[in-house]
Structure 1
């Protein structure tokens, strides 16, 4: 059984950075990817807090990017059965939505990282998520599209209530 979320995290982060690409060159792309990966990691660890949850999504599959592609218009020209797009089957819609919420709301991102202490995945420190919770000016410039609340709203709003519920009733009032 697959008990780690790395395929889901990689595919969902890739989807986010393709849907909301970096502004600039190679450095901007790397910074945007790092922020997307951190947000997706936090979202995935919150969504699948135990190794059993991770194993179950590994067996059942996360659902794919179909609806996300349709919402953003990213489905144009992608063939569902094209092997070059097989990674899209590992995209998790809920995780992408939660990551979009975290990228556009710094306080919510801090609350989410703090909530990771309750899960089984956390092996490091909150400093691992520095680009998510405290992005520098280069980070914000590189991920201008990815962090733009109005641009990512159609994705963020899909499952925002679930994230707020997961973070707890007291925390939901802050967001």
Structure 2
């Protein structure tokens, strides 16, 4: 009889362990989904008085929470400036395609982990030229909105003036 009691106790302990593991995984999953949602690069429009009914009840509060979370997230800022070495250099190395000019603007922005996408857009993960160059900005000085992803306030305008000389 004591063998049955021990077996039942072990099964109960195993059940509790499984519940704890499932709860932990659910918590990690919920955190990952929340973080992805909050740190998404999708631009958030300011809530308008005549909100579309498809946005649902309480969307203004969620937009405010998402905006506040973005303001403290380091991920959005890092992605805006481009993280990691760019595969643009796989082609733009001077052999297959022209290498970037070593002007002051390019040398000053070397600290952005050799990433081109932060300023020039495009898609550094693709090798096929027409896909990689889609929506690319050839001269980032002509599109000041790319500067304001990293440079805040009047700093972007002042720096842009110095690079246009």
TM-score (norm 2): 0.30
Please identify which structure carries the higher helix content.
Answer: 1
* Greater relative contact order (Cα < 8 A, sep 6+): 1
Q: Which has the larger radius of gyration?
A: 2
TM-score (norm 1): 0.29
